[in-house]
């Protein structure tokens, strides 16, 4: 049996309702309690952020995973990883692109 009942007058009542609440029509039950659909995050916040694993970062620069971690430890200009949990880190691709641009500008100067 459903949670809502329709009385003879067309009002919808909660099974636990004492009957003292305002009367709702059946079409109101569908809309009641629902939040409006959220707009997609990319529509208001711009492009979605992409994250890369240590394997993907190593492949991007054609180096080993150990080298990526060495850069994190010794090169302050290299982006810090985002720690998701113990043993799980990701790099924002946008930060890596900015690092690439800075490195190219240093080489060209």
Rounded to whole angstroms, the Cα distance separating 59 from 93 reads: 13
Percent residues over pLDDT 90 in the chain = 46
Place of tokens 């060209």: 108
Say if residue 55 is in the same domain as residue 102.
yes
Count CB-CB contacts under 10 A for residue 56. Answer: 15
pLDDT, tens digit (0-9, with 9 covering 90-100), for 23-37: 555 555 455 555 555
| Predicted structure pTM score | 0.55
Q: Please, what is the angle between helix 54-61 and helix 65-74, to 10°?
A: 90
Residue 55 and residue 29 in one domain: no
Looking up residue 101, the CATH number of its domain turns out to be: 1.10.1660
Could you list the pLDDT tens digit for every one of the 109 residues in the chain?
555 555 565 555 555 555 554 555 555 545 555 555 556 554 566 667 789 999 999 999 999 999 999 999 999 999 999 999 998 999 999 999 999 999 888 877 6
Residues 60 and 94 in one domain: yes
Domain hosting residue 89, numbered range: 51-108
Bridge partners (DSSP) of residue 12 are 6, 24
Report the SS3 class of residue 73. helix
């Amino acid at each position: 049996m459903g949670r809502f009942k329709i009385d003879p007058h067309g009002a919808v009542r909660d099974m636990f309702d004492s009957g003292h609440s305002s009367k709702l029509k059946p079409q109101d039950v569908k809309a009641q309690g629902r939040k409006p659909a959220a707009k997609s995050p990319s529509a208001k916040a711009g492009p979605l952020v992409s994250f890369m694993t240590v394997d993907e970062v190593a492949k991007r620069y054609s180096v080993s995973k150990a080298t990526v971690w060495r850069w994190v430890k010794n090169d302050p200009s290299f982006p810090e990883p985002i720690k998701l949990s113990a043993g799980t880190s990701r790099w924002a691709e946008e930060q890596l692109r900015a690092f690439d641009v800075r490195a190219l500008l240093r080489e060209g100067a």
